[in-house]
Amino acid sequence: MKTFEYERATDVASAVATLDRTPNAKPLGGGTNLVDLMKLGVERPDLLVDVSRVDFGGVDELPDGGLRIGAGVRNSDLAAHPLVRTRYPALTRALVSAASGQLRNQATTGGNLLQRTRCTYFMDTTKPCNKREPGTGCGAVAGLSRELGILGVNDLCIATHPGDMAVALAALDAIVVFETVDGEQRLPIDEFFREPGDDPTRDTNLPSGALITAVELPSLPVATNSTYRKARDRRSYAFALGSVAAALSVDEAGLVTDVRIALGAASPVPWRARKAEEALVGSPATPASFAAAAQLELAAATTTEQNAFKVPLLTRLVVGVLSELAGLDHEGDDPADPAEDADPSPFRPTGADGSPRRVAADVDPGAATGPEGSAS
């Protein structure tokens, strides 16, 4: 690990002033990702500004019925908050599906948004990676890509955003609030995250020297009927192969009146499925409509031999989640369904007998969440 200086901030203003005058400084909240990357030599800050004792506020109700979530709120506390569980259940489900109870007790809301990809090539300093070292190439394009992106990617980078929380926030139209030396600013979450474009080194549009102070959720009636589902190689403590956060409203005639869908583990950003949403509004709330909308969204996918399974996997997740929210009896066990064996690649983990291992889809709709996110 590179040597670095350390400074503890006492308030937002002092933290921002320090970050602004030190180009290669990083804020330190829970440190669950940043410190790991420093140990690997991927992140090499000159200065860590400890903001763990700064008062960013808690979970507070806004006048319009939305919520303001302080950047320092721990993931476990956010997942267990009564207003989050009742008004934005997809967010609770996403949080408890992430990491482990110990990590959720440490990880912060602001830090979660800034976590870096877990792409093997990014994490290994001996391998080529345009995100870590511009101009060296993307080793994943012709290498190990099973867990990587199929939407919003290009030849420079096919990494995925690794988080769960941000996928739910994308579906819920969250606003990221941050402080700069010029004062408080806001970005819709769609504009906060950025696709690699011609500069894969940048994951977000957060200005240099800025500090995330809060996330705001608008009052969103459809969000009370929302959920999150995650497919992964094991039931807990694993990153997604594909995930879906969704909210749905259906009228008495069985037609979709409002729908929000975001895909995880599909792109360098939490992917808002707006084409699918547009196709569904006014359509019958049926598995066939849900599948058609998902396929429309995924028609633009750019896949490799190893991650092509994500198209049927995500289609299946969208159908399952929306069917659940619509109150339909859709088990998704049709043997003729092309997504039934959603990952046929030779790179898929196998069981002891050599047979393909089914991925686990989370979270159990009946799972309870305690203050430490024990549902995971």
Q: Please report the pLDDT score of residue 360 as a whole number.
A: 54
Whether residue 349 is predicted with pLDDT greater than 50 in this model: the reply is no
User: pLDDT by residue (tens digit) across 320-348?
Assistant: 999 999 999 765 444 334 343 344 443 44
Whether residue 225 is predicted with pLDDT greater than 70 in this model: the reply is yes
Average pLDDT over residues 35-61: 98
**Assigned domain for 373 exists:** no
Domains: count for the chain: 2
Average pLDDT over residues 295-311: 98
Final residue of a structural domain among 217, 245, 275: 217
- Which pTM was predicted? 0.89
The band of 235, judged by pLDDT with boundaries at 50, 70 and 90, is confident
> Which of 165-174, 252-261, 340-349 is predicted least confidently?
340-349
209 and 230 part of one domain: no
**Assigned domain for 258 exists:** yes
The three-state (H, E, C) secondary structure of the chain, written as one string: CCCCEEEECCCHHHHHHHHHHCCCEEEECCCCCHHHHHHHCCCCCCEEEECCCCCCCCEEECCCCCEEEECCCEHHHHHHCHHHHHHCHHHHHHHHCCCCHHHHHHCEHHHHHCCCCCCHHHHCCCCCCCCCCCCCCCCCCCCCCCCCCCCCCECCECCCCCCCHHHHHHHCCCEEEEEECCEEEEEEHHHHECCCCCCCCCCECCCCCCEEEEEEECCCHHHHCEEEEEEECCCCCCCCCEEEEEEEEECCCCEEEEEEEEEECCCCCCEECHHHHHHHCCCECCHHHHHHHHHHHHCCCCCCCCCCCHHHHHHHHHHHHHHHHHCCCCCCCCCCCCCCCCCCCCCCCECCCCCECCCEEECCCCCCCCCCCCCC
272 and 204 part of one domain: no
160 and 283 part of one domain: no
User: pLDDT by residue (tens digit) across 119-151?
Assistant: 999 999 999 999 999 999 999 999 999 999 999
Query: Residue 57's domain spans which residues?
Result: 6-217
Final residue of a structural domain among 217, 246, 269: 217
Mean pLDDT of the chain: 90
